[in-house]
């Protein structure tokens, strides 16, 4: 049993929780015909994590780079979902959840656990990080989009500098 990559589990779970909101964000953007890219909001998120970084033993630039990857992964999933819905000519029936009153606050709430788990990992970096991470990602999902999103989100995990 591949328990040797268990050390990645808490951080990857936190990453996945944030990615799980991407399709709801895309659903809102489809309903209101809003662009995926929201530069002002991105700058706000990155500034928030820079400011919070030291509470988790992280350098501001490390926290920022990690979150820039989370945002890129989120957009990857959003673009993929919108592409599917355009091809089908419709999105799922579910009522869209509101971006500013519901979804962004939920994304904000996940910041703490992501920074905490990144801090834990950086405090004790796994040996042979890139290979173990790849194995952990492979074991985590068989969904191609989800796998790609996780690869993007963890792109700089093993590169502390």
Ligand X SMILES: O=C(O)C(=O)C[C@]1(C(=O)O)C=C[C@@H](O)C=C1
Q: Which residue has the tokens 């959003």?
A: 78
Nearest residue to ligand X on Cβ basis = 74
Which position among 107, 118, 133, 150 is part of the footprint of ligand X (CB under 6 A)?
Answer: 107
Q: Which stretch binds ligand X (CB under 6 A): 52-60, 71-79, 121-129, 133-141?
A: 71-79
DSSP state of 57: T
Rounded to a whole number of angstroms, the minimum distance from the CB of residue 29 to ligand X is 7
Residue 58, H or E segment: none
Rule CB under 6 A: say whether 75 interacts with ligand X: yes
Rule CB under 6 A: say whether 74 interacts with ligand X: yes
Q: Is 123 exposed, middle or buried (0-12, 13-18, 19+ CB in 10 A)?
A: exposed
Rounded to a whole number of angstroms, the minimum distance from the CB of residue 53 to ligand X is 17
Q: Which of residues 6-45 bind ligand X (CB under 6 A)?
A: 25, 37-38, 41-42, 45
Report how far residue 149's alpha carbon sits from residue 124's, in angstroms, rounded to the nearest whole number. 25
Rule CB under 6 A: say whether 98 interacts with ligand X: no
CB 36 within 8 A of CB 78: yes
Nearest to 12 by CA among 143, 157, 145, 160: 157
Binding site for ligand X (CB under 6 A): 25, 37-38, 41-42, 45, 71, 74-75, 99, 104, 107
């Amino acid at each position: 049993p591949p328990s040797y990559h268990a050390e990645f589990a808490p951080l990857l779970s936190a990453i996945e929780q944030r990615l799980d909101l991407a399709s709801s964000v895309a659903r809102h953007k489809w309903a209101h015909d809003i662009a995926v890219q929201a530069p002002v909001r991105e700058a706000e998120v990155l500034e928030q994590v820079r400011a919070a970084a030291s509470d988790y033993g992280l350098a501001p630039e490390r926290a920022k780079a990690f979150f820039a990857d989370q945002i890129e992964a989120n957009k990857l999933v959003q673009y993929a979902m919108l592409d599917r819905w355009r091809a089908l000519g419709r999105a799922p029936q579910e009522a869209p959840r509101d971006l500013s009153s519901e979804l962004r606050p939920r994304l904000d709430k996940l910041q703490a656990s992501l920074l905490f788990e990144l801090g834990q990992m950086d405090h004790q970096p796994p040996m042979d990080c890139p290979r173990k991470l790849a194995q952990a990602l492979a074991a985590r999902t068989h969904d191609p989009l989800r796998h790609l999103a996780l690869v993007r989100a963890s792109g700089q995990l093993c590169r502390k500098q």
